[in-house]
Amino acid sequence: MYGDIVILSGAGISAESGIPTFRDSDGLWNNHRIEDVATIEAYERHPEQVHDFYNGLKIDLQKARPNPAHLAITELQNGYRNGTVSVVTQNVDLLHEKAGNRNIYHIHGQIDQAVCMNCGRITDARGEVTTETLCAGCGMAATLKPNIVFFGENLLRMNEVDALLDKCRLLIAVGTSGAVYPANTFARIARYHGADTIEFNLHATVNSYDFDRHVIGRAGETFPRFIKELLAES
Ligand code: NAD
């Protein structure tokens, strides 16, 4: 059977937990244009507005509960004996953590953290962050940014993710559109290194050709079924 497994998740895995995806809401994220809340230019021009958006989003995301797709990953991690199971997520919500998943790589950042633009320190930021909040590292005010990767910024933990992609024997993409670089190259890279690739989505995606198998339907239904079969075979 397979060796190491990488699960690549996108906003679609959290849709059934009530968190709208960006592309399925006409390019709006919680009724905001992405350019107004997820670019460095927006943050530099209107930091208060950007903080307000993420403080509000944080409250919504903290209320959300994991769905059967998130929980199936924990089941896989507990039952799989043929290698490690890692979760590489583009999501900034914490539903993988809430479901008890382990080995989680948040490549687009996470809603419960802030990063200091002066000293680089990452701090826990479960509560509200404003331009008045002092950095716990350098003590400066007005330097904290939500630890969310904005357009044009480097992704997080990519060295570790590259190593996982080289080594895995199965890559499973769940609820990701294939429109966001570089996550949309991961299946191709893993496949190049010999992995089988499977995608779970509501429909075919722009990079469906990078996958050996496609499972169409709601991830909360299709994915747990697949995990049961995978565990039965392993
Ligand atoms: P995306 O590019 O990953 O697209 C979402 C995909 O999920 C679509 O292809 C859609 O068909 C699929 N999908 C929707 N519901 C599904 C379901 N029930 N089962 C299976 N598939 C389903 O994500 P995006 O929404 O375009 O967001 C882009 C970026 O914005 C993300 O990568 C993330 O950084 C951020 N974002 C994060 C969250 C979150 O943390 N939950 C939500 C929205 C956006």
Report how far residue 174's alpha carbon sits from residue 12's, in angstroms, rounded to the nearest whole number: 7
pLDDT at position 31 is 77
For residue 76, the CA-to-ligand 1 centroid distance in Å is 22
Q: How far is CA 53 from the centre of its chain?
A: 19
- Residues within 6 Å of ligand 1 by CB: 10-12, 14-16, 19, 21-24, 29, 90-93, 108, 175-177, 179-180, 200-203, 205, 218-219
Q: What is the mean pLDDT of residues 91-114?
A: 98
109-116/144-148 β-pairing: antiparallel
34 confidence band (pLDDT: 50, 70, 90): confident
Q: Whose CA is nearest to atom 30 of ligand 1?
A: 22
Is residue 214 annotated as a catalytic residue, yes or no?
Answer: no
| Catalytic residue chosen out of the listed positions 51, 70, 108, 214 | 108
Q: Give 124-141 pLDDT, tens digit per residue.
A: 999 999 999 999 999 999
Angle, CA 109 vertex, CA 105 and CA 113 arms, to 5°: 115
pLDDT at position 28 is 66
Widest pairwise Cα distance in the chain: 55
Q: Whose CA is nearest to atom 7 of ligand 1?
A: 12
Q: Give 43-97 pLDDT, tens digit per residue.
A: 999 999 999 999 999 999 999 999 999 999 999 999 999 999 999 999 999 999 9
pLDDT for residue 189 is more than 80: yes
Helix, strand, or coil (residue 170): strand
pLDDT at position 27 is 61
